[in-house]
Amino acid sequence: MDIVSIEGLDKGYGAHRVHRGLDLAIRRGECFTLLGPSGCGKTVLLRLIAGFEQPDAGRIDIGGAPVSDPAGNVNVPPDSRGIGMVFQDYAVWPHMTVFDNVAYPLKIARVGASELRARVLETVALVGMEGLERRLPSELSGGQQQRVALARALVARPSLMLLDEPLTNLDANLREEMRFEIKELQRKLDITVLYVTHDQEIALAISDRMAIMDGEGKIRQTGTPWEIFEQPVDPFVFSFMGIANFVPVRSEGGEYLVGEGNQPVPWEKPVVTAARYAAGFRPSDLEIARSGDGLQAVVVRANFLGAMMDYLIEVDGARMRTSVETHEAIAKDLMFREGDRCVARFRSLLWFDAETLKEAAQ
Amino acid sequence: MKRRGFGTAQVILFLSIAILVVVVAVPVLLIFLNAFWVNGSFNVADVIRIIREPDTWQALVNSLIIASGTTIGSTIVGTFFAWLVTRTDLPFKRFMKGMFLVPFMLPSFIGALAWKMLLSPRAGFINRFFMQNLGFDGPIFNIYSYAGIMMVEVMYLFPFVFIQVCGALERMDPTLEESARISGAGLFTITRKITIPLVLPSILSGALLIMLYSMAHFGTVAVLGIENGIFNIPTLIYQRIHQSAGSFASIRTGTVLAAILVVAAALILWLQSKVLSRGHYQIIAGKSFRPMELKLRALRMPLLIFCLAYIGFTIVLPTVVIFLVGGLKTYGLPFTWENLSLDNYKFILFDYKVTKDAIWNSVTLGFSAAVITMFAGVMISYVIVKMKVRGKGILEFLGMLPFSVPGSVIALGVILAWSGKYGVNLYNTVWIILVAYIARYMAFSLRANSAALEQVHDSLVEAARVCGATMWQALKDIVLPLVRPGMVAAFFLIFLPSLRELTVSIMLYAPTTRTIGVAIYTLNEDGETVMSAALAGIALILIIVGETLINRFIKTERRGG
């Protein structure tokens, strides 16, 4: 069953349209990530769900009941939507102790003193902050403040929790640690999480399902992390999930030729038809060797990155990046120098219509 | 926000607009109406006729002369001292910096009174000393002159430039100067090519503030100028209103002058915002750096003595004179132990009805104005800074008005609005002074409260909303506790200056509604010099104690928060 369902949502500021006819459904109990480049309108969508913004048209349901529906004159204020939310800047109240911060939702709900105390302590312990209840936010580190924000969003046991890039302001190690903890909490408490981020690594790590939003606020693909990573529907999604090579391919007499030259792509032929094609693959999906079958290529740039060797090679005017683990390169005589000749083969390759590529480049 | 939205947001917006309209916009509007609207029609020719009347013209010219002289003098003095205490190895720099800010607290008209006692042509202590002991034929300096007025104004206004330039010099990244030095530039070249261009916006902005303040300044010119027939715009407005008991012709002259003052003030503030926005280089960051210090070497001691002499001459001497004269049995007696006592102070505090009333009036008026303006200011700032409602633009415009309306203009506008012509007559009551104080100090409250509110990030309120708090609960639990320091600051920023307020009160007082400022001024006018000085002394004590307390409060708030 869907806990959040959004239909035909329109939202704009003046002449600028952020969302046009957007549909989205989030299932109860899942960890759903909304992934998109900055400024794409994902935070606006989160704020629409929270009730801080009103849609121009369309409808939002939470738990089966409409909360925003301009046509039906429905607009439930944020305080009556029964959600928890964690903000990018933590938004921990600086004049309240950790205890008071976490206790606030229960105080508003008029929970009795002894139950309040028990639940606050339990939630504080849940996020690993026991013993720090008396501290003021100014005496806490960024990661600890984020835990307080998390505890505050969890304490009233909302069925839906919204997280707006909550880990962006933390340093790399802490970010990694926190993302596992969030996932863990979500599973343990069986709540639905809607997580908004521009960081594909976090999205892949914590999501049950995810949606990719493009710069115009349009959802390109929804699916499991595996589906998104392995079966991207278009070059935009493909390139958003990591470094991508797009090589122009032209079709001539039933052959699919790379760049300007006459070498056919050593891979299955595309099933769709297009005027021009683009072959998409990640650097790790391109294998190079001194000799053997494959595309004849020249090494244009060789870069030693420590654990990896990074090469830029050229095949008949088409350039592509590949990487080889340094110790493997040494073992297999793959330490190329600029200007060396090599052959290239694919481990994996996806066909795209070259027309859709321009769009992705934007 | 269609159904629920009307309710809270609109009500607050409407209330905020209503307060600013009634308190500030209507009085200003009435001034322009009375200036340009003659017998039911728009008349510019008559405005020009009034401006060309000799007295009016002279007042305009005088305002310009005094303001220009004061601005130039203060800018030189302020920039020089700022450079000295931030960029050189002058001894006791922290102490000096504190002392140079003291004139901020002292009311300039009390300073003017002190200088009148010291340098009036015949009776001034310094002039008399020179004539009696050193054989001078005449006074060495006549304080009743343009030069005298400008000198006193510079002494009390230069901190505006001083504080701005100090700030800019302290925040300036020293690597900018160091990289110039590495490039081979000498100290003189660095100062000319790097330092001065970088602090110029701060100097100009401080200078413009002084220009604005001096043009609209009443006290010093009233004390030192009227004797010799030197009037500026505010003193001429006062004289016309005061002498004619509200006749039509005099009110019109007043409104024309006031209108000019408002336009000039708006122009200056506009210029200042231009200067500041152009000067917003990345370079002047918020951080504090350790700037390069110039070794003064042989000049170190002479400059130290110069600074100490300046402080002694402009701050200590006038203050001491006020207290000493306040202790004299009769003005004119020499300062000997037999002639000095605390009787005057006791008399004005406990027995003299005029001064007792004045102190009571000032304290109650200041307190009420501060409380009302503090709450009104926090509400209006909240709408401007935080709320997203249609019609906010009007409020933003109205919110700028209090900044560009000088005191004498407010007083005149309030007379026009509340003298019974529009149904309510507050003239000759304390209420009209209260209304004028609220208008006059609204700008302070708006500034302090918006600054505090800017610090309260929107997400703090939104976090409370998703926790289940209604808008009112979020305001009460989150916003109010967080802006409380701003509100307290606003309270003191209004309460303390209102204790020494003169410009507005002098135009609105009735025999029973004198304020401290009015009492000091009128006692002096009536020749009660010792009583006037004693009351001024008490005002100084009140102000200094108050300022010390507020500074301590701000410091602890900063440490705690």
Same domain, B63 and B14: no
- The rounded distance, in Å, linking the Cα atoms of A75 and A69 is 6
Cβ(A348)–Cβ(A279) under 8 Å?
no
Q: Find the residue in B nearest to A83 (Cα).
A: B466
Q: Which residues, at least 6 apart from B555, have a Cβ–Cβ distance to it below 8 Å? A: none
pLDDT in tens, B232-250: 999 999 988 887 765 667 7
pLDDT in tens, B32-56: 998 888 877 888 888 898 899 999 9
- The rounded distance, in Å, linking the Cα atoms of B163 and B154 is 14
Order of strands, edge to edge, in the sheet holding A277-281? A255-258, A245-252, A277-281, A350-353
**Helix B392-400 × helix B353-386 angle, to 10°:** 140
Mean pLDDT score, B9-18:
88
Same domain, A9 and A104: yes
CA-only gyration radius of chain B, Å = 25
pLDDT band at residue A14 under the 50/70/90 scheme: confident
pLDDT band at residue B279 under the 50/70/90 scheme: low
- The rounded distance, in Å, linking the Cα atoms of B21 and A115 is 51
* Domain endpoint, select from B286, B306, B332: B332
Choose, out of B8, B462, B466, the residue to mutate when testing the contact with A (most A CBs < 10 Å): B466
B284 has pLDDT over 60: no
Question: With an 8 Å Cβ cutoff, is B467 touching chain A?
Answer: yes
Contacts of B465 in chain A (CB under 8 A): 51-52, 77-79
Enclosing domain of residue B395: 1-46+342-561
- pLDDT for A361: 57
Q: Find the residue in B nearest to A92 (Cα).
A: B460
Same domain, A233 and A355: no
- Out of B3, B4, B468, whose CB is closest to A105? B468
Q: Which long-range contacts (CB under 8 A, 24 or more apart) does B56-61 make?
A: B56/B236, B56/B253, B56/B256, B56/B257, B58/B231, B59/B231, B59/B232, B59/B233, B59/B235, B59/B236, B59/B257, B60/B233, B60/B257, B60/B260
Amino acid at A173: N
Q: Find the residue in B nearest to A161 (Cα).
A: B466
Question: With an 8 Å Cβ cutoff, is B468 touching chain A?
Answer: yes
Lowest-confidence segment of A162-171, A217-226, B113-122 by average pLDDT? A162-171
- pLDDT for B386: 84
Percent of chain A topping pLDDT 70: 99
Q: Find the residue in A nearest to B471 (Cα).
A: A79
**The pair of three-digit structure tokens given for residue A347, joined into one six-digit string:** 């481990």
- pLDDT for A360: 58
Name the residue among A158, A189, A187, A190 with its Cα closest to residue A63: A158
Decide if B462 and A85 are in contact by the 8 Å CB cutoff.
yes
- pLDDT for B137: 84
Instruction: Write out the residues of chain A at the interface with chain B, using a CB-CB cutoff of 8 A.
Output: 50-52, 54, 73, 75, 77-81, 83-85, 87-89, 91-95, 104-105, 108-109, 149, 152-153, 156, 162
Decide if B462 and A50 are in contact by the 8 Å CB cutoff.
yes
* Domain endpoint, select from A193, A210, A238: A238
- The rounded distance, in Å, linking the Cα atoms of B553 and B560 is 10
- pLDDT for B18: 93
- The rounded distance, in Å, linking the Cα atoms of B155 and B144 is 16
How far apart are the CA of A93 and the nearest CA of chain B, in angstroms? 6
Question: With an 8 Å Cβ cutoff, is B469 touching chain A?
Answer: yes
Cβ(B365)–Cβ(B515) under 8 Å?
yes
pLDDT band at residue B150 under the 50/70/90 scheme: very high
- The rounded distance, in Å, linking the Cα atoms of A86 and B473 is 19
Same domain, B40 and B60: no
pLDDT in tens, B409-424: 999 999 889 887 788 8
pLDDT in tens, A52-78: 999 999 999 999 899 999 999 999 999
Question: With an 8 Å Cβ cutoff, is B7 touching chain A?
Answer: no
- pLDDT for B291: 63
Same domain, A174 and A303: no
Same domain, A265 and A317: yes
Q: Find the residue in B nearest to A84 (Cα).
A: B466
Same domain, A58 and A197: yes
Amino acid at A308: M
pLDDT band at residue B77 under the 50/70/90 scheme: very high
- pLDDT for B290: 62
- pLDDT for B558: 61
Q: Is the ipTM reported for this complex over the cut 0.90? A: no
Amino acid at A297: A
| CATH classification of the domain holding A261 | 2.40.50.100
Mean pLDDT score, B76-105:
89
- pLDDT for B273: 84
B277 has pLDDT over 80: no
- pLDDT for B540: 92
Phi-psi region of A62 (alpha: psi -120 to 50; beta: other; left: phi over 0): beta
- B10 falls within a domain: yes
| CATH classification of the domain holding B474 | 1.10.3720.10
Name the residue among A349, A308, A299 with its Cα closest to residue A326: A308
Mean pLDDT score, B486-509:
89
- The rounded distance, in Å, linking the Cα atoms of B308 and A16 is 62
Contacts of B459 in chain A (CB under 8 A): 87-89, 91
**The pair of three-digit structure tokens given for residue A350, joined into one six-digit string:** 């996806």
Number of domains in chain A: 2
A–B: how many Cβ contacts below 8 A? 72
A227 has pLDDT over 50: yes
Decide if B462 and A52 are in contact by the 8 Å CB cutoff.
yes
Enclosing domain of residue A177: 2-238
Same domain, B281 and B388: no
Could you tell me how many helices (H) and strands (E) chain A has, helices first? 10, 20
pLDDT in tens, A258-315: 888 889 888 888 887 888 888 999 998 999 999 888 899 999 999 999 999 999 999 9
- The rounded distance, in Å, linking the Cα atoms of B170 and B167 is 5
**Helix B353-386 × helix B430-455 angle, to 10°:** 40
B2 has pLDDT over 50: no
Name the residue among A281, A279, A280, A288 with its Cα closest to residue A325: A288
| CATH classification of the domain holding A82 | 3.40.50.300
pLDDT band at residue B561 under the 50/70/90 scheme: very low
Q: Find the residue in B nearest to A52 (Cα).
A: B462
pLDDT in tens, B441-469: 998 899 888 888 888 888 999 999 999 99
- pLDDT for B286: 46
Please give the span between the terminal C-alpha atoms of chain B, in angstroms, as a whole number.
Answer: 35
- The rounded distance, in Å, linking the Cα atoms of A121 and A130 is 7
B140 has pLDDT over 80: yes
pLDDT band at residue B81 under the 50/70/90 scheme: very high
How far apart are the CA of A91 and the nearest CA of chain B, in angstroms? 5
How far apart are the CA of A206 and the nearest CA of chain B, in angstroms? 23
Cβ(B378)–Cβ(B490) under 8 Å?
yes
- B535 falls within a domain: yes
How far apart are the CA of A218 and the nearest CA of chain B, in angstroms? 26
